[in-house]
Chains A and B, each alone.
Chain A
Amino acid sequence: MSNKSAPVHPVRRFLIGSNIRRTLARAVVLGLLTAFILRYVWLPVRVRGVSMEPTFHDGAFHIANLAAFRFRAPARGDIVVIAMTGRRALYLKRLIGLPGDRIEFAGGALYLNGARVEEPYVRGSGDWTIPEVVVGPNEYYVAGDNRSIPWEQHTLGTVDRGKILGTILL
């Protein structure tokens, strides 16, 4: 009786390895890990709408990094994803105000604590004139980059910290 086992076809060996049980176990672990990462860490998102033009285009796919703010607080200028009633539809906005900030728009320009802020990422300055808001504790002020939309039709304003899930990775 020979100890030599029958030669395994290279394609079969490449696809299922030398031990099918181990390969299956690895596949299951890899699948679960991927599912976990794609749900809780790097969430694939598709942009719908034009409120973040020209930074983000309608229909484009991106990856949201849901772990970004576990290690640091959101900062001014960050692109943030915000949970609606759940995680299957999210807002994508730019963070322009931190807790305690005074935010105001006058004649299309953003004023932060009374000083005008240059926003190179903005499309069309528009003519937004929005009364001053003092951002509350544990709140942030967000707006889209496309200021050519009348502000009454644009979703902007203050949001609770707990609703900010993360930022855009890619």
Chain B
Amino acid sequence: MIVNIPSLSGILASRWGRIAVPAAAVLLVGLLIVFWRGRDARAIHRRLDELRELVSKDGEEKPLAQLAQTREVIEYFTPDAPIIVGSPLPALQGRQEIAALFHQARAVFRTIDVKIRDRALQIAADKLGATMDMTAEVVAEGLGETVREVREIRTNWVKQDGDWLISEVSNVETIRKPQPATTP
């Protein structure tokens, strides 16, 4: 059996070729543009997935491993990143405080399971900043009890030296709590 591979000029000479080849070229360029423009979004999602993995814990771990995890986690934040999500977490400012709380949490809880749901990402026009809203669910077991928290949080991201870092973590208030009256 002989198979002839048609030449490009041959394909272009045919009626279908004149339509299909330009259409395929446009499709290819479109896909490349989509792929190129989605790079930052993919990078942020990947960073968040990595962070979620690092924060999660499925059993006892040795102090050295704990220390290594802590060091890795703070690399995902800018040096002065604030985390203000309200009770029971205290307001944190910067890598040192984040590291201290993270280390303490890993020492207290035997398991920590983090789930991230409903991510909504917006990247700034200059591609150097981004905001991602999400619902985070944390289930932690330790000291004979299970703690479960579901929070809507907003993370602000900045691109520094090619890496996306979290510059701020705050609450998203879908239900806005009344503010206590202030005394003059």
Binding site for B on A (CB under 8 A): 48-49, 82-89, 91, 93, 130-131, 133, 142, 152-153, 155-160, 163
Interface assignment of B152: CB less than 8 Å from any CB of chain A: yes
Minimum CB–CB distance from B79 to chain A (whole Å) comes to: 27
Q: A89-B137, A131-B179, A152-B87 are in contact. Are A82 and B117 (CB under 8 A)?
A: no
Select the residue from B117, B133, B134, B178 with max chain A CB neighbours within 10 A. B178
A-B contact count (CB 8 A): 67
Among B150, B174, B177, point to the contact of A82 (Cβ < 8 A).
B174
Contacts of B179 in A (CB 8 A): 131
Give the total of B residues in contact with A, Cβ under 8 Å: 22
Q: A93-B175, A156-B175, A159-B175 are in contact. Are A85 and B152 (CB under 8 A)?
A: yes
Contacts of A133 in B (CB 8 A): 178
Provide the bound-state CA to CA distance between A156 and B102, in Å: 29
Binding site for A on B (CB under 8 A): 87, 117-120, 133-135, 137, 148, 150, 152, 172-181
Instruction: Tell me whether A88 and B176 are in contact (CB under 8 A).
Output: no
A sample of 26 cross-chain residue pairs with beta-carbon separation below 8 angstroms, ordered by A number, consists of A48-B150, A49-B148, A82-B175, A83-B174, A84-B135, A84-B152, A84-B174, A85-B117, A85-B119, A85-B135, A85-B174, A86-B119, A86-B135, A87-B118, A88-B118, A89-B117, A89-B118, A91-B174, A130-B178, A133-B178, A152-B87, A156-B175, A157-B176, A157-B177, A158-B176, A160-B174
Select the residue from B87, B148, B150, B181 with max chain A CB neighbours within 10 A. B150
Provide the bound-state CA to CA distance between A16 and B179, in Å: 62
Instruction: Tell me whether B148 and A85 are in contact (CB under 8 A).
Output: no
Among A85, A130, A153, A158, point to the contact of B172 (Cβ < 8 A).
A85
Instruction: Tell me whether A163 and B174 are in contact (CB under 8 A).
Output: yes
